[in-house]
Structures are given as structure tokens and as C-alpha cells.
Structure 1
């Protein structure tokens, strides 16, 4: 082989070795980039999993708080309904007593003027008894509506507070 051929082979060997070093450097760089990407992705995945876990825990906390509010509202409604039933019974007793009183108003007698006044007094007492019964019934309806609205409003407020305020 001539001197020129040896030089070409040596040059090709040098260029080839540079090429191999270059390719090795690229493969190392790609491996490091892949490792960094995998670490970043696993960190992102971990953050996502932890975020989802935290979101699920918050959702469960809110659901438990909401159910607690609903249970308390049911209890308050039962108490209010019991109170209303007691008030209705007392109102019925009052109405019965007023009816009895209205029925007994009057003076039996022979004098037509006294009998007419007695009948007028009895009718007035009956009208007042009826008016009392209707007013009491309406007051009972309004009280029951107020109780329902109050319980619902307090439940709504407690539910809202459980959503916006952190536990503790």
C-alpha cells in the first residue's frame, strides 16, 4: 500500500472514531433526557395522584358534612312538627271551650226582651268562637310554614358553611 492509501485509512479511522464518539455522546444525552423526562413525568403523576386523593378526601368530607346537616335538619323538622301538633291540640281545646262557653251564654226566661238579648249574645259568642277557631288555624299554618322555612334556612346555611370553610 502506498503512503497515500495509509493516510486515507488513518483519516477514515480518525473520522470513524470521532463519529462513534459523537454517536455515543448522543445516545448518552438521549438516555439522560429520557431519565429526566421519566422523573418529571413520575413527579407529575405523583402530584396528580396526590391531588386526586386530596380532592376525593375533600369530596368525602363535604358529603359527610352535608349528610350530617341533612340529619340535623330532619331532627329539627320532627321537633317542629311535634311542637306544632301540641299547639294544634291546645288550640283545639281552646276552640272547644269557646264553643261550650258560646253555647251556654244566655238567660232562660219568659221576658221576650231578655230572650232576644240572650239570643243575640249567644250568636255573638258563636261568631267570636268561630273567628277564634279560624284565626287559630291560620296562626298554626303560618307557624308551621315559618318552622319549615327556618329549619330549611339553617340547613342551607350549615351546608354552605361546610362547603366553604375547611374542617377544624
Structure 2
């Protein structure tokens, strides 16, 4: 009977020993897989870190471009305002000169009437003095020309500012 007990004991010992070897292999493989998993996780973390850095750099570049464009637009608006103010000052100066010319034309017409050198060839009461008509027509034409010049100056300044703004926003053009 002793031999029968020895056989199962040997079988049990062999099974336990085989199970230990198997579990040791399992553990070794698990450690190896665990190491690979850690490497994979580290690589993924590094990749996410790189993506976050690239996103931050792109965001910073976009912010810098926006600030550049805003500063460029502000500069263009300031230059346009200066050009508009200069055009208005020029228009005022031209208006003052035109007024002086109208006054001088009226003085010359009055002097011609006073001297009795009327150019009217027998005009009736409805026609009026030709010098007065000429002075009036020239005055209205000059006033209208001044209005049109002022409008043209404003349109030119605005158009140039618009063109500069477009060029600043589209540097590839």
C-alpha cells in the first residue's frame, strides 16, 4: 500500500510542480505584457503631449495673426482719418478762396454797373442784369463743384482705406 500512496503523491507533486512552472510562465508573460502596456501608455501620453503642444502653438500663432491684423486695421483707419481730415481742410480752404472770388466778382459787377457800362442790350424787367446772372451762375456752379469735390475726396479716401484693409488681410495678393 505504501507504493500506492507514493504514486499519487508523485502525481500530486508533479501536478503542483507543473502548475507552478505554468503559473510562473503566466506571471512572466503577464509582466512582459504589463511592460508592453506601460510602454504603449507612455507612447500615447507622449503623443497627446505633442498634440497639446502643437495645438497651443497653433492657437498662439492664430492669436498673433489676429493681433497683427487688428493693429494693421487700426493703422489703416487712423491713416484714413488723417487723409479725410486733410481733404476736409483742403475743401474748406478751397471754399474760402471760392467765396473770395464770388465777392470779388460781385464787386467787379457793381463797379461796372456804377460806371454805367452795363452789357445789357435793352433787357426787360424780367431778365435782370447780365453781370448779376453771370455772378449767380458762377457762384452756384462753384458751390456745386465744391460739393462734388468734397464727395469725391471722401469716396477716394474711403476707397483707398478699403483697398489697404483688403491687402492687409490678404497678403498673398
Aligning the two structures, in what range does the TM-score lie when normalised by the shorter sequence? 0.7 to 0.9
TM-score, normalized by length of structure 1? Answer: 0.87
Residue number among 123, 131, 136 corresponding to 1:130 in the alignment: 136
The TM-score normalised by the length of structure 2 is 0.84
Q: Give 5+ residue unaligned stretches, structure 1.
A: none
Instruction: Give the number of equivalent residue pairs.
Output: 162
For structure 2, the 5+ residue unaligned runs are 1-7
1:42 equivalent to 2:42? Answer: no
Once superposed, which parts of structure 1, at least 4 consecutive aligned residues long, lie more than 4 Å away? 118-122
CA RMSD of aligned residues (A): 2.4
How far 1:119 moved relative to its partner? Answer: 6.6
Deviation at 1:116, TM superposition (A): 7.2
d(CA) in 1 for partners of 2:42 and 2:107? 96
* Aligned-partner Cα distance in 2 for 1:23–1:133: 103
Shift of 1:103: 2.7
SS of residue in 2 equivalent to 1:165? coil
| Distance in 2 (alpha carbons) for counterparts of 1:152 and 1:26 | 70
Q: Is the radius of gyration larger for structure 1 or structure 2?
A: 2
Structure 2 SS opposite 1:105: helix
1:1-168 residue pairs with structure 2 within 5 A?
Answer: 2-106=9-113, 108=116, 117=121, 123-165=129-171
